[in-house]
Structure 1
Amino acid sequence: MNETNEIKEFGDIKSVLDYLEQIKDDLHNKTLSEQIKFKDEVKNRHDKRQVQMLLGRLEDQFKIRRALSYLVTALFAIVSFAIGSLTNFFVSNLPDTELKSYTAPVIIFLFYILALAGWIYLAYAESNRLRKISRYKRLIQECFDEMPEKKYFRRRV
């Protein structure tokens, strides 16, 4: 949020998700009545064209997030290669002792646990982000569907 806790004007929005979180945060954990209040707030602040723009931006964010999920797989392929290389390097440089036969499995296991913890963290963070985007997308779509078409125009005198 801004330092003054003010909600941004429509033209000043850089991230649609951040803007919607300023209106109502943690909406995926709220009741239906709180979600209806959020929709009413959005409908009071914006016209149908602006809501359609917000919806389009949320759809884009959702598609981009889903498309970039392959990067996590590539990251762990690189990490696996690095683990294998480092293990080979460390084991080949150890003196011939009984410790050498136990070192490689221990190193591999520790790196495996570290990589698994990283994967769990990244998967959890990404699934939360996708869940949040999809919830806001659904509510903005409902706002868009509920808003009437303007059939009249005010004339300025």
Structure 2
Amino acid sequence: MSETKEIIVFGDIKDAEIYLQQVKKNIHKKSFSDQIAFREEIKKRHDKKQIQMLLGRVEDMIDNKKATSHFTTAFFAILSFILGSTLNYGLGRATALSLTESDEGSAAGTIIMLVFYTAGLIWFVLSFVYSKRLKKLTGYKRLLQECLEEMPDKRHFRRRV
């Protein structure tokens, strides 16, 4: 199968991040020579105004991503309330079970460890996904800024006589 890279018209772009990934995926992890090729491709496809628009959209995405990071804190506040209630209930049940059985406290320890590891795993996954996307967006932002710096200013025009 042959892959065809269809060039999207600037007016048809719906999401700047998806468009930039279609130009070159994971460019923030590539070598400088690949990043230079990416910048040349962007400069070839777009003029300065369009690159500024893409840069503005990427900056907005970064700001939105940073602004929504409080949801992680709120999630853990809710999670801690739920897990605290569950832990309180579970410890009450474990104490009741340990009084009736010879196994003292092993259920309580198991419940505490499961709660701890679950919360840690959720935190790790959320942090990893957040930092990965933020790193990608800041990489695209930097490359678009470099494109703008490399483009000549059109302040000097010839007068037609």
- 1:89-135 Cα offsets, whole Å, 9 max, x none, are 23334443344633223212111101111111111111111111011
Worse overlay, 29-38 or 96-105: 96-105
Q: Does 1:129 align with 2:140?
A: no
Residues 83 and 108 of structure 1 are in contact (CA less than 8 Å); yes or no, is this contact kept in structure 2? Answer: no
Instruction: Determine the C-alpha separation between the residues in 1 that align with 2:89 and 2:103.
Output: 15
Deviation at 1:34, TM superposition (A): 0.7
Residues 83 and 111 of structure 1 are in contact (CA less than 8 Å); yes or no, is this contact kept in structure 2? Answer: yes
Instruction: Determine the C-alpha separation between the residues in 1 that align with 2:104 and 2:81.
Output: 21
% same residue: 46
Q: Does 1:117 align with 2:121?
A: yes
Query: Residue type of the partner of 1:42?
Result: I
Instruction: Determine the C-alpha separation between the residues in 1 that align with 2:81 and 2:105.
Output: 21
Q: Quote the RMSD (CA, aligned, Å).
A: 2.1
Q: How does 1:128-147 map to 2 (within 5 A)?
A: 128-147=132-151
Q: How many residues end up aligned between the 2 structures?
A: 151
Q: Which residue of 2 aligns with 1:45?
A: 45
Q: Normalized against structure 2, the TM-score is what?
A: 0.84
Q: 2:112 aligns with which of 98, 108, 112?
A: 108
Deviation at 1:4, TM superposition (A): 6.7
- 1:5-58 Cα offsets, whole Å, 9 max, x none, are 524221111211110010001111111111011000000100111000001111
> Structure 1 residues 34 and 117, CA, compared in 2 at 3 Å: closer, same or farther?
same
Deviation at 1:88, TM superposition (A): 1.9
Q: Normalized against structure 1, the TM-score is what?
A: 0.86
Instruction: Flag structure 1 segments of 5+ consecutive residues without an equivalent.
Output: none
Q: Does 1:21 align with 2:21?
A: yes
Instruction: Determine the C-alpha separation between the residues in 2 that align with 1:108 and 1:90.
Output: 9
Q: Does 1:84 align with 2:104?
A: no
> Structure 1 residues 123 and 7, CA, compared in 2 at 3 Å: closer, same or farther?
farther
Query: Residue type of the partner of 1:129?
Result: R
Instruction: Flag structure 2 segments of 5+ consecutive residues without an equivalent.
Output: none
Residues 39 and 140 of structure 1 are in contact (CA less than 8 Å); yes or no, is this contact kept in structure 2? Answer: yes
Residues 91 and 100 of structure 1 are in contact (CA less than 8 Å); yes or no, is this contact kept in structure 2? Answer: no
> Structure 1 residues 55 and 4, CA, compared in 2 at 3 Å: closer, same or farther?
same
